Structure formats: structure tokens, C-alpha cells
Homo-oligomer: A and B are copies of this chain.
Amino acid sequence: MPDSPAGFARPAAPAVVGDPISGIDTPALIIDLEVFESNLALMREQAARAGVRLRAHAKTHKSVDIARLQIERGGACGICCQKVSEAEVMVAGGIRDVLVSNQVVGPARVRRLARLAHQARILVCVDDPANVDDLAAAARAEGVRLECLVEIDVGMHRCGVMPGAPALALARRVLAHDCLRLAGLQAYHGRAQHIYEFEARQSAIGNAIALTRETVALFAEHGIDCEIVGGAGTGSYPMEAASGVYNELQCGSYVFMDADYRRVLDAENRPGGLFASSLFVLASVVSTAVAGQATCDAGLKALAVDSGPPRVHGRDELDVLGVADEHTILADRGRTLQVLDRLWLVPGHCDPTCNLYDWYVGVRGGRVEAVWPVSARGCLV
């Protein structure tokens, strides 16, 4: 089976460094570099002020270039990713401290994970004793050490053992293997990030913190230290950072923001939150033939809609009527738009939107300053 069948190159980048913004082909995934850098700096300061580490989540951007900037300029101690194949891309790109914040199961996948530990510090979440044994066997076979975080279910009900005694039992299973290291706890409540009502979100995270605190205390009673107590995301990190229990934040979306996190932070009445939108889908109007509407060239292939449709940046009066495979349809009652007019769309959800693209186009001062591959796009396994 050929690796690159005829006609199977990556799609070409929609711009070249130095192009004016008007020269970018659409739809394109744009980063406003000024805002992006400001977001990087703000999170670095937030973590430093709280005295916790930042392990930035690369699932948001899937980009080696951005992961490097998070470490070199954004204060991150390392990164998280969600899949072994993503970790392989990140390690190949020079990242030397990677947590796969997920369960890695199956002999082939576990073996691939262990191989990475020759080149980088590799951590992984566990919630199953048999999986712990599999990881140990793979680490032993490779002659490496894998580090494990015992994942506890602090309210998300997706993965993770129950806090308290079940977590302790699993920690002991990890400790029983010389080629594994128990690095601590994973206690992430992803669903709580997206609760719009501040009190409800505070309550959910408060509960997660309490369960985590009890488990850390139980571990301490049994002489087990947690170097890492990790979790938190852009929608909740101030609470975990102030908890005195969590010591590693796993925020990802802060670099870009999206329409859904904007709703979360607006509802909280944090003044716009700290972070501004740096990620846009640049689209062009392709038809105004239907009266009172404009149709643009970015649809489901260019925008994830699982968290709602995009909003039109700076044009709040343009309602989104629908998102089809290749089009977003806008109400334009004032007939202000013409064919080839450009729109800056803020995606509803940044992570799966970025996974639709092969390239980021970084802009500053009206010009293209960077073209970065979405290096781990499509890394599913």
C-alpha cells in the first residue's frame, strides 16, 4: 500500500508569508497573532500568580508550533494531548514532556506509547487495573518508565475510577510495577467548563475540588505523594488554581477562545473574561442571489457546529440562518453584503474546528506573518 497515492498530497496552504490579508484564499483558519500572544502571556501570569504549573492542552490546536510557543513563551511545563498519535507528532516536533490525558488501551497502542518514552517524559491516565498491567509490560519490554496519573471521576462521568478508596487501590496497582511511576491524579471535569451559569459551574467545580482533596488526603495517609494533581480548563481554572489542591492546570482553549467559551465567560460577568478571540474562519460571500441573504463559502467542512453556529465578528446584526456542508447562510436584511465580501467568523467550538484544517494562517498588521501546519490534525488513534 503506497503511503502517498497519486493526488493525495495535503491541500495547499491558503496563503504565503508576506501576503496581504486580502490575498488569503478562503475559507481559511486565521490566528490574530497579537491577540494570541496576549492570551499566552495572560495565562502564564495567571498560573504564576496562583503558584501552579500550566500543562497546556494541545488538543485545542494540534500544532507543534503552538505547543512550542506555549512552552517557550507561555510558561507551560509541558503539554497534554489526547491520543498516542498526537503525542507521536508532538515528540517528533521536539516536545519533551507530554501527558496523554486519556486512557491508552490495546497492545499496539500501549507499545507505541512506551516507545515514545525513549525520547520524552511520557505520562498517561489510567482507570483500569488490567490496563495498568499492560502499560507496565510494554514499559518493561521497551526498557523505559511510564508515568501514570490515576484518573478519578469528579463529576464528568466519562472515564475515571471513583475518588477515594477505588483510586487508592488503582494507585497501589501502579506502585506495584517498577517500570511505572505514580505521578499523581487526573481530576478533570470537562463538562463543567461549559456550564453557562456561574453558580452552577462553581458548584460543580467545588464538588470536583472536594473529591480531589479527599483523595489526595487519603493517598497522603497511606504515604503516597502526588507530584501532579491535574485538571481544569479555560472555563474554570481560577477555581482549581485557588483550591490549594490542584497544582497543574490543563487549559487549552485560552489561546484561541471560541463562541461557546465567550458565552461561558460573558455569563460570569468576568469583563469579557481575560482572553480575547484570536481564532477566526475567514470566509467569502459567494452568493447574494436569494433576497435578504448572503451565503458564504465556509460550512460544516470549515466550522464545527457541535457547540452552536459561528458568530460573525464585528457584525452582530448578521444572524446565521443555517450551516450546510459547504455554506453558512446569513440573514442580511439591509443587503449590506456583496459577492466576494469577507467575513470573520468565530467558530462555536475551536478544537474540532481546528481539526478540519491543514494550515493556520497567522496574521499581524494586515499581513500574513506565519503559516503553520495543523501538525496533529486527523490523529485519531
Binding site for B on A (CB under 8 A): 1, 3-14, 16-17, 25-28, 59, 64, 82-83, 85, 89, 92-93, 102-103, 105-106, 108-109, 127-128, 130-131, 151, 153, 157-161, 190, 284, 286-290, 293, 295, 297-298, 300-302, 304-306, 322-327, 329, 339-340, 349, 351-352, 355-358, 371, 373, 375, 378-381
Contacts and interface: CB of A to CB of B under 8 A. Distances in A.
Nearest to A368: B1
Contacts of A293: 157
B323 A306 contact: yes
A26 to B, nearest CB: 7
A25 B88 CA distance: 16
26 contacts: A3-B9, A6-B93, A7-B93, A8-B375, A11-B85, A26-B381, A83-B326, A105-B286, A106-B340, A127-B287, A128-B289, A128-B339, A153-B289, A158-B322, A159-B289, A159-B327, A160-B290, A297-B381, A300-B304, A300-B306, A301-B352, A301-B380, A305-B306, A306-B306, A325-B351, A357-B380
Contacts of A131: 339
Given A11-B379, A14-B381, A339-B130, A153 B290 contact: yes
A148 to B, nearest CB: 14
Copies assembled: 2
A88 to B, nearest CB: 9
Contacts of A190: 324
B27 A13 contact: no
A14 B351 CA distance: 23
A146 B96 CA distance: 53
Nearest to A353: B300
A92 B7 CA distance: 6
Contacts of A323: 306
